Amino acid sequence: MSDIIRLLPDKVANQIAAGEVVQRPASIVKELLENAIDAGATSIELMIKDGGRTLIQVVDNGIGMSTTDARLAFERHATSKIRTTEDIFHIMTKGFRGEALASIAAVAQVDLKTKKQGSDLGTHICIDGGEFISQEPTQVNEGSNFSVKNLFYNVPARRKFLKSDNVEMRHIMDEFHRVAIPHPQIEFLLYHNDSELFKLRRTSEIQRVVDIFGRRLQPLMIPIKEDADWVNLNGYVGKPEAAKKSRGEQFLFVNGRYFKSPYLSKAILEAFEGLLQPQYTPSYFLFLEIDPERIDVNIHPQKTEVKFEDENVIYAMLRSTIKKSLGVYNIAPSLDFDRDPEKDNILVHTPTKGDRIIMPSIQVDRNYNPFATEMSTPEPQEIINLTEMYQTNISAEPSKINLFEDDDEEEELMRLPNGFWIYNNGDRLLMLDLGRMHQLVLYDKNSRKIQLGNTSHKLLFSHEIFLNELEKMVFTALQEQLQEKGFELNMSHDENLLQVQAIPEGMEENEATQLLQKIFNEYEEGTTEFDDFFQVNQEKITAKSNFDFIHKDEVHHLIEDFKKLGFPEYNQNQKRCYIELPIEEFKNELKK
């Protein structure tokens, strides 16, 4: 039997290895921007065409490279950052593995022009799909100019998985924000298809955040600061009114490097406990400065995860510091009577390996919703307890069940403490799921509206929504489709304000605003049809905004609308809208 194991050609091996580093255009943007920062640049330009598939160009005024360094930079594992394994644990730069440029060059056409500071001439290198084409001297400004063209042109299987230009640009903007926020001392410019999206001046941390996400954030930011002998924390958290359902403005940095940590994000959420509506997350921009020997940034190919030597201590520091700042700024009580005093002493001394930190925890299911699961007929014992609680007169006729208070006229409705409503429908006693009933009523109205065509309702006063650059891109792409749905929208590009002047007929203003924000934050071209996305989310938002029926008049109106549909037992999703409570079983059980 012949041998079957053989070495891959370098070209194939490089293309496979590139998959770890180059997942999409945003991956290249991250690597090139970080290289420019490591080169000491004070000004960086990023130019994108067609969402990055046609061109990604980064121009910086950093130290540049010599002729030899420029050629060697495209070899795998070539780096100026480390010499030994121990150096990895003292890393303060962004890149250090020496994989990025080799991986990028393997799946694109790369053009590099660079000149070292103080040199008379620079060098110009061309690489095509990992194959070296040419290197020659050239006149160029000090610094580096990287052009990455036709990404994945030689790997069609990878190229076809790229999303639409808008989706890819969203990811590029995410990486741009992650690099620009912790480096306010650097000027950044971003262009897409020759249109300027950002021109970020050299400024302070808070001003950089405002320049990126808009001046609406400035009055909503609370400063955070805490220094210990081994870790420093500073930054800003948003007031509760700045919270969003979408996770778009949550940034954690350590030593100037963006990272993700569900564990530490939980500490931030705990600091806001009792201040946010369910499913809302606060905005935060937090910067940690830690001895590099206490962290490991080499545990993830994209270096977006960090391993901390004392993660529990960081957790406690984040929670307590944010909670204290919220109290100082009168957002939350300064005194926390449920707080364990021992937990605050955690920051007084430098922890040692012998220390044992026990984190208190409380198990609460905050997502419990009695309507989230299928309704089922209550057990007889539950019915007995319910009946006894309201001291039912078992001698009452079925048409006059005394579960309901008698005023001047017979009551038909009663709201139970758990949110359910009981409806006395003649000789039938029904437990209603108002949410599902409401969804069916809305579904019927929307279906008839689609048949008649979408009409608009003019607002007496226009409503303004601030859009960041990402949201502006989505608005531009969907402007005509939103107009067809009944919206009348005008964009003030100077101030990034979207004026809502008319909304679809039958929709409330707050519902329309929520729907627009959901579209701008969550809709991605190519993942689903816009009509489907619009209708599904319109039903969800409208149903949710009217879900908590408290007043009987509201419920009466809903029941009247529901009766017009024939009082069906199931809604459009085949979910039960009500169940009938067995009155005779009530009587039989209570007679025992």
How far, in Å, CA of 407 to CA of 426, rounded?
Answer: 18
Q: Residue type at 47?
A: M
pLDDT at 565 over 50: yes
Confidence band for 297, pLDDT divided at 50, 70 and 90: low
Read off the DSSP letter of residue 245: S
Query: What mean pLDDT is predicted for residues 52-74?
Result: 94
The CB-side HSE value for 61 (13 A sphere, CA atoms) comes to 8
Query: What mean pLDDT is predicted for residues 311-320?
Result: 93
Residue 260, beta-bridge partner list: 305
Asked if residue 467 lies in contact with residue 498, where contact means CB atoms within 8 angstroms, the answer is: yes
Q: Which is more confidently placed, 419 or 376? A: 419
Say what the pLDDT of residue 527 is: 67
| Structural domains for the chain | 10-200 (3.30.565.10), 206-347 (3.30.230.10), 437-545 (3.30.1370.100)
Query: What mean pLDDT is predicted for residues 358-371?
Result: 52
Q: What interhelical angle do 530-545 and 434-452 show, nearest 10?
A: 140
Element (H, E) at 383: helix 380-389
455: buried, middle or exposed (CB in 10 Å: 19+, 13-18, 0-12)? exposed
Say what the pLDDT of residue 444 is: 79
Residues in CB range of 251: below 8 A, 6 or more apart: 177, 178, 181, 258, 284, 285, 286
Say what the pLDDT of residue 377 is: 43
Of 138-142, 167-171, 402-406, 519-523, give the range with the top mean pLDDT. 138-142
Residue 548, beta-bridge partner list: none
Reference 81, options 171, 90, 475; nearest CA is 90
Say what the pLDDT of residue 357 is: 53
How far, in Å, CA of 485 to CA of 538, rounded?
Answer: 11
Say what the pLDDT of residue 303 is: 61
How would you classify residue 469: left for phi > 0, otherwise alpha for psi between -120 and 50, otherwise beta? alpha
256: buried, middle or exposed (CB in 10 Å: 19+, 13-18, 0-12)? middle
330: buried, middle or exposed (CB in 10 Å: 19+, 13-18, 0-12)? exposed
Say what the pLDDT of residue 550 is: 60
Q: Are strands 43-49 and 187-192 parallel, antiparallel or unpaired?
A: parallel
Query: What mean pLDDT is predicted for residues 231-255?
Result: 88
Q: Residue type at 243?
A: A
How far, in Å, CA of 26 to CA of 175, rounded?
Answer: 6
pLDDT at 525 over 80: no
Number of helices followed by number of strands (H, E) in the chain: 17, 22
Over the stretch 425-456, which tens digit does the pLDDT of each residue have?
Answer: 777 788 888 878 887 887 777 666 655 556 78
pLDDT at 500 over 90: yes
Query: What mean pLDDT is predicted for residues 101-108?
Result: 91
Confidence band for 125, pLDDT divided at 50, 70 and 90: very high
Helix (H, G, I), strand (E, B) or coil at 237: strand
pLDDT at 394 over 90: no
Residue 222, beta-bridge partner list: 237
Residues in CB range of 586: below 8 A, 6 or more apart: 383, 384, 387, 392, 394
How far, in Å, CA of 233 to CA of 225, rounded?
Answer: 5
Reference 178, options 234, 248, 97, 232; nearest CA is 248
pLDDT at 60 over 60: yes
Over the stretch 174-197, which tens digit does the pLDDT of each residue have?
Answer: 999 999 999 999 999 999 999 899
How would you classify residue 33: left for phi > 0, otherwise alpha for psi between -120 and 50, otherwise beta? alpha
Task: Look at 213-222, 227-236, 364-373 and tell me which has the smallest mean pLDDT.
Answer: 364-373
CB-based contacts of 312-316 (< 8 A; 24+ apart in sequence): 312/357, 312/359, 313/231, 313/346, 313/347, 313/351, 313/357, 314/231, 314/264, 314/267, 314/288, 315/263, 315/264, 315/266, 315/267, 315/359, 316/267, 316/343, 316/346, 316/347, 316/357, 316/359
Query: What mean pLDDT is predicted for residues 455-477?
Result: 83
Ranges of beta strands (E only) in 28-121 are 43-49, 55-60, 109-115
pLDDT at 82 over 50: no
pLDDT at 380 over 50: no
Say what the pLDDT of residue 114 is: 96
Reference 463, options 517, 534, 540, 522; nearest CA is 517
Cα distances from 28 to residues 34, 76, 125, 484, in angstroms, run: 10, 16, 18, 38
Q: What is the mean pLDDT of the chain?
A: 79
Say what the pLDDT of residue 390 is: 40
Residues in CB range of 159: below 8 A, 6 or more apart: 53, 151, 152, 153
Q: Give Dmax over CA atoms of the chain in angstroms.
A: 105
Share of the chain above pLDDT 90, in %: 34
